[in-house]
Amino acid sequence: MIIELFINALSLLLTLGILVTIHEFGHFWVARRCGVKVLRFSIGFGKAVKTWVGKDGVEYVIAPIPLGGYVKMLGQEDVAVADSSKVTASERHMSFAFKPLWQRMAIVAAGPLANFLLAIIIFWLINVSYGLTGIAPIASNVIEDSPAYQAGLREGDEIVAVDGEATVTWRQVTLQMLSRLGETGELDLTIIPAAASSTPDGAQEILIPISRWLGGQTEPSPVTDLGIVQFEIPAIIAGVIAGGRAESGGLQAGDEILEVNGSPIRGWMHWVEVIRSSPELELNVVAKRQGIDTTLQLRPETGQLEDGAVIGTIGAFVQETSLIELLPPEMRREIHFNVFSAVVPALQETWDKSVFVLNSVKKMVTGLISVKNINGPITIAQIAGETAVYGLDVYLGFLALLSISLGVLNLLPIPILDGGHLFYYMIEAIIRRPVPERIQAWGLQIGLILISGIMVLALYNDVSRLL
């Protein structure tokens, strides 16, 4: 537990530290290119841990709370009063307030744009180093009377597009379906049937009705909700715990579970579901052992989860290995890129995820999806810690998504955020004078209330998930 907390905390500091530094460096770099004098470059909030003055005359500050940062520029606070006496005549050419409007807009927009650039570089690096690896979106099974089954999807069918967007892996199918959360209408799947083709190229469309789809869920699983079973790890016993019900029932390492009480077992997760739902019940189990079917009798003992739920358990475990390693060749999808071909997919993924984040914000505001999906530092720390353990490519993907989220949210037209300043500058471009200080002060108060409310809500959601 202590090690897990340490990993989560360290991952949070590293993740937010990278994102904040890149964001503020965007402002800093463009400000310097525009000839603005930078007074301070601060990463984090709170009492400074480390402070030094560089050869460029900038005061660099590192503070302990990595939830933000800032770049202080000469004349920045006087942008609404271009004749401010706080800036001497000899320094006006280095003052933010006296720079042309387009330069001020470029400096403000540079922070979010730096976050998008970071995401593009990360996705490019992942594409070059790892390529696209995943599981083919072929339905291992479709639950009878489920929405997907009623629409015509069957076992063995491959989903090649969702709402017209091509899908090569289950991950792409899930992400495309997640973009429809909270909506009402029809989900359009393009499939290649396993049995017979209804068109010359073998593809056909099926429409699945949805109504405010999964809008109230905090951990939606769209594929499962539709009744589609993805490829599952075979229910092969890697080992049994001494003294457990699995051992007393005769299960051995290497046994593959085929049936329980006459019903076929689809895979390991299905096997776990059966065991968990059968505490102290007699189960007739058929297992394949060295090519021979063997019948066993098991009675799962009663166990309890942290939330108090009663489940069945037998003391057996699965082999800890990559799912990709267990896939047959026809279920694998692998696409490799070179340094040039990796650019376009990186740009496309950054764009797609930016649109997804923006649509999610819109749906939260309009009530189509739950605001419980807003995450705070505790949840970010947990996810960052988990992804860091899973591997560098997984962590980098999470870092890129957070960077995109930070860029999109900062461009929202909320006073106090970069988007709010850009909104004022666009008004200035139209009316040919700065927005009055009084209106900017009101906007600042409104912005502070909104951002404070969002932070409180995010922390509340974090604590609620822990309880």
Q: How many CB atoms lie within 10 A of CB 255?
A: 22
SS3 at position 170: helix
d(CA 97, CA 425): 12
Phi, psi of 301 (to 5 degrees): -85, 160
Asked if 421 and 110 count as a contact pair (C-beta separation under 8 A), the reply is: no
Asked if 390 and 383 count as a contact pair (C-beta separation under 8 A), the reply is: no
- Answer yes or no: 24 catalytic: yes
According to DSSP, the β-strands at 310-313 and 228-229 are unpaired
Residue 212 structure tokens: 């405010």
DSSP designation for 58:
P
- From the number of C-beta atoms within 10 Å of its C-beta (0-12, 13-18, 19+), residue 243 rates as exposed
Q: What one-letter code names the amino acid at 184? A: T
d(CA 98, CA 80): 10
Q: What is the DSSP secondary-structure string of 370-437?
A: -GGG---HHHHHHHHHHHHHH-HHHHHHHHHHHHHHHHHHHTSS-TTSHHHHHHHHHHHHHHTSPPPH
- 165-174 in b/e form (b: 16+ CB < 10 A) is eebbbbebbb
Matching residue, tokens 């079917």? 293
Give strand ranges (E) for 225-340.
228-229, 239-240, 256-260, 263-264, 283-289, 292-298, 301-304, 310-313, 316-317, 332-335
Active-site entry in 4, 24, 77, 183: 24
d(CA 438, CA 357): 33
Q: 393: which residues sit within 8 A by CB, 6+ positions away?
A: 126, 129, 130
User: Sheet harboring 185-192: ordered strands across?
Assistant: 165-166, 158-162, 185-192, 204-210
Q: Which residues are catalytic?
A: 24
